[in-house]
Structure 1
Amino acid sequence: MISNFSSQVTTAGLVTGFVEVVLSYPALSCVSLVAFLAAFLWYDRDSHKVDGFNQKHVFITGCDSGFGNLLARQLDRKGFHVIAACLSEKGAADLAAAASPRLKTLLLDVTDSASVGRAVESVSREVGERGLWGLVNNAGRSVPVGPAEWMQLEDFTKVLDVNLTGVIDVTLQFLPLLKQAQGRVVNVASIVGRLSLIGGGYCLSKWGVEAFSDSLRRDMRHFGIKVSIIEPGFFKTNVTNVEVINSDLKRLWTRLPQQVKDSYGATYFNDYVKAQDFSMGILCSSDISKVTWCMEHALTAQFPRTRYSAGWDAKLFWIPLSYLPSFVADFVISVLLPSCKNERNI
């Protein structure tokens, strides 16, 4: 009896104290209430899914390996009609063997507009009057990357042709099928589309994907098409393969005039490679499902997000760093890279 009475008194005291706080700080209370409602509504809208996965077709580029390969198998298991575009016959055969008979593969070179056109014709026959529910622009390449002075124009265009021009061409040619289904476009950018960490075409291409996606989203809202951007941090895929990157860096360094090499110093190349290997070793995650979950959500959620950040480094380090003053970002990035000969002499 005494225990119940004490409990009631304690509860009454807590309620009274809460009411006093609310009345004493109305502005703070209003902010807290708005924050609570926003969180509740966000959770609620995040939990709604579209219906009829088994009636929807999704076209994914770059399915030989990495994100595209895993996403194709992931969506196939959920019942989607997946049409997976691969660059090589081996990639297509390996993927088909790992999926259900429902998954279809085709060969695609996103830098070849005629190849894209053939893919559109093939997908059009497959989807019929339903149209295309989802387009995932995942195909990409990273090399050549490195200091800007080591590059020639063709080094930039090799990457831009795949990562940016290819994305634009594929999207434009598939838009009529997407409009039929009032579907989704999911474009794979990167955290380096927010913060340029290295020279070459990769960062440029991902900034371009961000801009193209933003303009496309605003243009396509009239037709019910939703556009989402995936911004992964660093993950272990062919794009971050250090052996491939280092081999290409050696090619870039070797062809430089001796005068340019001397300006960096005799040890700079080796120091650069070591710094890059160290950073990749710490940052790269092997759990690429964190990225494909974002892609799946963009395709299945009733209210997909505009941007998805994937990976602890993207969420906790790179994206916050991108909002800080440029001199702060410049300092942090300079810590990760070696000093050159001339810088040491300043």
Structure 2
Amino acid sequence: MEEFAVSFWIYIVVMSMFVGGAMKKFLALHIGALPSVVAWLGVTLLVERLCALCMPAVLARLVLCVSCWLYFSWASPKPFLPVEGKAVFITGCDSGFGNATAKQLDAMGFEVFATVLNLEGEGAKHLRRVCSSRLTLLQVDITQPQQIQQALLETKAKLGMRDLWGLVNNAGWCVNIADAELALMSNYRGCMEVNFFGTITVTRTFLPLLRQSKGRIVTISSPSGEFPFPCLASYGASKAALNLFINTLRHELEPWGVKVSTILPASFKTGQSSNPEYWEKQYKNLIQNMPMSLLEEFGEDYLTETKELFQNYAKTANEDLSPVVNTIVEALLSPQPKLRYFAGSGLTLMYFICSYLPLSISDRFLQKLFVQKKVLPLALRKQQGLSPSDNNNSIKENLNNCNSFTKIID
């Protein structure tokens, strides 16, 4: 009877450990933890069944010790690696994530090599003003291989016998949004040149240094590269190609000891995303270069609604870039960095819906999350016997709905 009482209390303790661990994972609200939660609960069920059979007290104690070791080795945060002596190369530091990351890493003591498109631009001037002498600014257009090679030579010359610890692939480009059929081919090619081919060229160029140091590659991607956001075909396709390349690289670099991480940010105000003049210019370029047959079929008010919806969405984006910057720091310094990081609010809900619920639900969610289009193409309105003016009031209503929905997600 006494042996049974001991087993019972050990059973309670073990169950508390396992269930507590699972709840901690769940409450962390990180979609990447879902497989771990499932595995954790599976082991919990197994232990529960074993204990229910009144295992001997000695065996129960052994299970308790192993469980505690597994739990604390899993749950205890690992200290970051030391910063001293580490150098990092970052692309796209004129503004946004790259600019903020360069400042943060410099403040932490990293030696930073930051690329900008314009050495005399506001972003470069700001970095010179606020950063230490450890930061080196390099003018690099990542679509120009010769500039990347020159950056490599300058980086190696500055490092001397020291290693390059990390590469942060941050540079990216997104042009005006439109239906996949309406987007200009120059948009597709431009996104692929910067987001895919440019990033590949930078990564391949600096890989020998990273293999030598057994360092880190951190790449800023996008959820639009994994899910079909309406009107983001050109940008999303380039990020999808990038994701596959980075994941393949991750497997291939494992024997070399190079850790590869991908960061998927939520909606943040970066670059030209909140500049109305920039998007107005892109919109005019779209109208001027679109085949007249398509413009007549869809109608200019259809395109105008898309532009205004996106501008309204961009206005509600998060101005605080620290979630992404902190994630980059973690990926560079964690002893065991994650393969994928989700930075920003709303991503957990989005990834859960898009990964686990039926397509009919996830498609509707993406439509409501990004652009809630209500203006029908002109040709469809004519087929249904509607006049062009029937959609005039829907644009304002749609903008209000988009703003309200974005606040709920954030």
Q: TM-score range by the shorter chain?
A: 0.7 to 0.9
Alpha-carbon contact 1:230-1:307 (below 8 Å) kept: yes
SS of the equivalent of 2:128 reads helix
Alpha-carbon contact 2:178-2:303 (below 8 Å) kept: no
- Supply the AA of the counterpart residue of 1:267: D
Q: Distance in 2 between matches of 1:97 and 1:169?
A: 30
Q: Distance in 1 between matches of 2:14 and 2:183?
A: 66
Q: Deviations over 1:189-228 (max 9, x none)?
A: 0111221313342111111121111111110111110000
Alpha-carbon contact 1:141-1:239 (below 8 Å) kept: no
Question: How far does residue 238 in structure 1 lie from its aligned partner after superposition?
Answer: 1.2
- Which residue, out of 196, 207, 225, partners 2:258? 225
Q: Distance in 2 between matches of 1:237 and 1:16?
A: 53
Q: Deviations over 1:210-263 (max 9, x none)?
A: 111111111011111000001001101115235223431332134323432232
- Which residue, out of 116, 137, 141, partners 1:86? 116
- Which residue number corresponds to residue 109 of structure 1? 141
Which shifted more, 248-257 or 223-232?
Answer: 248-257
Question: How far does residue 39 in structure 1 lie from its aligned partner after superposition?
Answer: 6.3
Taking a change above 3 Å as real, the CA distance of residues 31 and 289 of structure 1, as seen in their structure-2 partners, is: farther
Alpha-carbon contact 2:274-2:314 (below 8 Å) kept: no
Taking a change above 3 Å as real, the CA distance of residues 57 and 254 of structure 1, as seen in their structure-2 partners, is: same
- Residue 290 (structure 2) pairs with residue 256 (structure 1): yes
- Residue 154 (structure 2) pairs with residue 119 (structure 1): no
Taking a change above 3 Å as real, the CA distance of residues 337 and 255 of structure 1, as seen in their structure-2 partners, is: farther
- Residue 349 (structure 2) pairs with residue 316 (structure 1): yes
Taking a change above 3 Å as real, the CA distance of residues 36 and 154 of structure 1, as seen in their structure-2 partners, is: farther
- Which residue, out of 175, 179, 192, partners 2:207? 175
Q: Distance in 1 between matches of 2:366 and 2:67?
A: 34
- Which residue number corresponds to residue 9 of structure 1? none
Taking a change above 3 Å as real, the CA distance of residues 50 and 111 of structure 1, as seen in their structure-2 partners, is: same
TM-score, normalised by the number of residues in structure 1: 0.85
Q: Distance in 1 between matches of 2:13 and 2:338?
A: 36
- Which residue number corresponds to residue 338 of structure 1? 373
What is the RMSD of the two structures over their aligned residues, measured on CA atoms? Answer: 3.0
Which shifted more, 132-141 or 94-103?
Answer: 94-103
SS of the equivalent of 1:82 reads strand
Alpha-carbon contact 1:186-1:230 (below 8 Å) kept: yes
TM-score, normalised by the number of residues in structure 2: 0.72
Q: Distance in 2 between matches of 1:82 and 1:338?
A: 43
- Supply the AA of the counterpart residue of 2:281: S
- Which residue, out of 270, 281, 297, partners 1:237? 270
- Which residue, out of 70, 89, 100, partners 2:100? 70
Q: Distance in 1 between matches of 2:300 and 2:197?
A: 37
Structure 2 counterparts to residues 287-306 of structure 1, below 5 A: 287-306=320-339
- Which residue number corresponds to residue 171 of structure 2? 139
Which shifted more, 191-200 or 258-267?
Answer: 258-267
Q: Deviations over 1:66-100 (max 9, x none)?
A: 11111111011111111111110123332121101
Question: How far does residue 40 in structure 1 lie from its aligned partner after superposition?
Answer: 4.3
- Which residue, out of 28, 53, 58, partners 2:45? 28
- Which residue number corresponds to residue 279 of structure 1? 313
- Which residue number corresponds to residue 39 of structure 2? none
Alpha-carbon contact 2:15-2:48 (below 8 Å) kept: no
Q: Which has the higher contact order (CA 8 A, sep 6+)?
A: 1
Taking a change above 3 Å as real, the CA distance of residues 40 and 157 of structure 1, as seen in their structure-2 partners, is: farther
Structure 2 counterparts to residues 160-239 of structure 1, below 5 A: 160-197=192-229, 198-238=231-271
SS of the equivalent of 2:93 reads coil
Question: How far does residue 316 in structure 1 lie from its aligned partner after superposition?
Answer: 2.5
Which shifted more, 166-175 or 231-240?
Answer: 231-240
Q: Distance in 1 between matches of 2:92 and 2:313?
A: 26
- Supply the AA of the counterpart residue of 2:313: S
Q: Distance in 2 between matches of 1:105 and 1:162?
A: 20
**How many residue pairs are counted as aligned between the two chains?**
328
- Supply the AA of the counterpart residue of 1:87: L
Question: How far does residue 159 in structure 1 lie from its aligned partner after superposition?
Answer: 1.4
Q: Distance in 2 between matches of 1:41 and 1:178?
A: 29
- Supply the AA of the counterpart residue of 2:240: W
Q: Distance in 1 between matches of 2:254 and 2:332?
A: 16
Alpha-carbon contact 1:133-1:178 (below 8 Å) kept: yes
